[in-house]
């Protein structure tokens, strides 16, 4: 089956990004595919390239990057939720005349339509709420 996952919680505020990671690994272990992970609301904080947890703690954003690279998963970040929280890619940084950008490699800013599309085209869409 083809799965997509939506995450509404930040990496260190609640358990949702953690739960979603465990779930994603179990999905892949059962030989399903994951098309897209959509980051919405505070979930957009999972896409910051500047996340720097203590060394003995899990780096949740880095784990998403690794998993996505290994299994060809799209990591899509809601552009409206991201920009208002200060998560910008190079293009948005230029648009808003900001000195720098901080969207981590492997993540893409896009619209809410990508979440609707995942719900319509994938066999399952699982939401991990904050």
Partner 1 sequence: MILHTVNKSPATSSTLKECLFSASSGDQILLIEDGVYAATQAFSELLRDDLSYFVLQNDMAARGLNSSLISEQWQPVDYQGFVELTEKADSVCSWF
Residues at the site binding partner 1, with contacts judged by CB under 8 A:
1, 3, 8, 14-16, 19, 22-23, 25-27, 29-30, 32, 124-130
109 and 103 in contact (C-beta within 8 Å)? yes
Query: Closest distance between partner 1 and the C-beta of residue 25, in Å?
Result: 7
- Residue 23 or 62: the one with the smaller Cβ distance to partner 1 is 23
List CB contacts of 80: < 8 A, sequence separation 6 or more. Answer: 111, 112
| Residue whose CB is less far from partner 1, 3 or 107 | 3
Q: Which residues pair with 108 in a beta bridge?
A: 76
Give DSSP secondary structure letters for 5-30. EEE-S-TTTSSHHHHHHHHHHHHHHT
Q: Choose between 14 and 74: whose C-beta lies nearer to partner 1.
A: 14
How many Å apart are CA 117 and CA 97, to the nearest integer? 31
Q: Which residues are catalytic?
A: 78
CB of 101 to partner 1, least distance (A): 30
CA angle 89-75-113, nearest 5°? 85
CB of 93 to partner 1, least distance (A): 32
């Amino acid at each position: 089956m083809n799965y997509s996952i939506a995450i509404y919680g930040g990496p260190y505020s609640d358990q949702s990004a953690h739960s979603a990671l465990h779930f994603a690994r179990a999905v892949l272990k059962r030989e399903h595919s994951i098309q897209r992970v959509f980051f919405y609301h505070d979930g957009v904080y999972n896409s910051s390239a500047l996340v720097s947890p203590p060394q003995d703690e899990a780096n949740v954003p880095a784990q998403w990057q690794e998993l996505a690279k290994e299994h060809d998963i799209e990591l899509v970040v809601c552009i409206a939720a991201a920009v208002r929280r200060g998560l910008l890619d190079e293009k948005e940084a230029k648009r808003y005349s900001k000195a720098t950008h901080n969207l981590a490699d492997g993540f893409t800013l896009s619209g809410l339509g990508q979440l609707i599309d995942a719900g319509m085209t994938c066999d399952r869409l699982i939401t991990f709420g904050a």
